[in-house]
Amino acid sequence: MARTATVKGTEKNKTNFLEDWSGRVLRFAVAGALPLLLILTWQVLSSFNMVNQSILPGPARIVAAFKQLIVKGTYSQHVWASMFRVIKGFLLGSSAGLAIGTVAALSPWTNQSIIALIGILRPIPAIAYIPFLILWLGIGEESKVAVIIIGAFWPVLLNTIHGIKSADSKLMEVGRAFEKNYWQVLRKIVIPSAIPSIFTGLRLGISSAWTCVVTSEMIAASKGIGFLIAFGRELAQPNMMFVGIVSIGVIGLLIDTVVLYLQRNIIYWAPSEKGINGN
């Protein structure tokens, strides 16, 4: 009997695994069908000269330009330059947002003192600061990283405040009923309940940081994905511009996928939620 139950359990696990795997393959196929169809249509139109390739080059020409940049070794330099700026700016901006957001959420006086400032500064896009940052910090790395810090700061700040303030009051009452002190309630109840919202803020923050670095590089840089797009425009090479544009989308998707994977595995007890975007 025990052996029969074990065999049935093993077969059931195999069936569940196959069903889960087939479901993932199906979802991936459905998600990739429309982009693939658009690329094929684009290539067909380009092959029959139905679009002006001096303005809108076909996928084949874009791939050829991408291979050329890979062979020269310049593509990896542009990508790593952008990634380094994003990592540095995101770490600084998210750390500041997490620290200030935590203090503001736990201290009513602090929250009241900065609420008006948040209301004034939050609607201003990070890229609006670029001319002033170039004037103040020059066209070096400092101004670019500063833009990324601003872009990553707001989503983390707002979602940290939202997460801590949204802690379940019933759980907090239970903690007090068991005679837990303030720090125990904070550590065992408030912070864990705020982690999903904080993680959503981090996800939005890294996305905003990637957007900001590309924009800042298009204005003043000698390396980076944004510089690659601006350089292609100056040379009237739209295929090079599209290499940069496609790179932005693909790298952004990869970053979001990695962060979402970490979010689902670290805070597996909570569903993914829509966060508060700082932009």
CATH number at residue 182: 1.10.3720.10
Q: How confident is the model at residue 57 (pLDDT cuts 50, 70, 90)?
A: confident
Distance, CA of 191 to CA of 231 (rounded, Å) = 46
Q: How confident is the model at residue 7 (pLDDT cuts 50, 70, 90)?
A: very low
Residues 97 and 193 in one domain: yes
CA-CA distance, 195 to 185, in Å (whole number)? Answer: 15
Domain co-membership, 90 together with 35: no
Residues 146 and 196 in one domain: yes
The total number of structural domains that make up the chain:
2
Which residue, among 130, 126, 119, has the nearest Cα to 218 in the 3D structure? 130
Are 174 and 194 in a shared domain?
Answer: yes
Nearest to 86 by CA among 36, 42, 141: 141
Residue 77, pLDDT score: 92
- 98 pLDDT band, cuts 50/70/90, is very high
Is 158 within a domain? yes
Same domain, 114 and 251: yes
> Is residue 64 located within the same domain as residue 11?
no
Instruction: Tell me: pLDDT of 187 over 80.
Output: no
- Check whether residue 262 and residue 164 sit in a common domain: yes
Question: Are 46 and 112 in a shared domain?
Answer: no
214 falls in which pLDDT band (50, 70, 90)? confident
Structural domain harbouring 6: 1-51
Query: Which range, 84-93, 161-170, 235-244, is most confident?
Result: 84-93
Phi, psi of 207 (to 5 degrees): -65, -45
- How many Å apart are CA 176 and CA 99, to the nearest integer? 25
Question: Is the same domain home to 103 and 229?
Answer: yes
Q: Which of 9-13, 54-58, 187-191 has the highest mean pLDDT?
A: 54-58
Mean pLDDT (whole number) for 259-279: 68
Residue where the block lists tokens 């750390």: 95
Give the whole-angstrom CA distance, residue 10 versus residue 18.
12
Phi-psi region of 78 (alpha: psi -120 to 50; beta: other; left: phi over 0): alpha
Predicted TM-score of the model (pTM): 0.79
191 and 118 part of one domain: yes
> For residues 148 and 86, is the Cβ–Cβ distance under 8 A?
yes
State whether 174 and 261 are in the same domain: yes
Tokens of 115: 């609420």
**Higher-scoring residue by pLDDT: 122, 176:** 122
Q: Above 80 in pLDDT, residue 12?
A: no
Across the range 132-148, mean pLDDT stands at 88
Q: What is the pLDDT of residue 18?
A: 53
Identify whether 19 is part of a domain: yes
* Other CB atoms within 10 A of residue 240 CB: 22
CB 43 within 8 A of CB 58: yes
Classify the C-alpha dihedral 226-219-215-32 as positive or negative.
Answer: negative
The predicted pLDDT at position 49 comes to 81
| Distance from the Cα of residue 42 to its chain's centroid | 28
Query: 111: burial class by Cβ within 10 Å (0-12, 13-18, 19+)?
Result: middle
Question: In the predicted model, is pLDDT for residue 269 greater than 80?
Answer: no
Q: Rounded distance, CA 205 to CA 91, Å?
A: 10
Q: Which two tokens stand for residue 13?
A: 């696990």
**Same domain membership, residue 13 and residue 97:** no
* Beta carbons of 213 and 147 less than 8 angstroms apart: yes
Q: Is the residue at 18 inside a domain?
A: yes
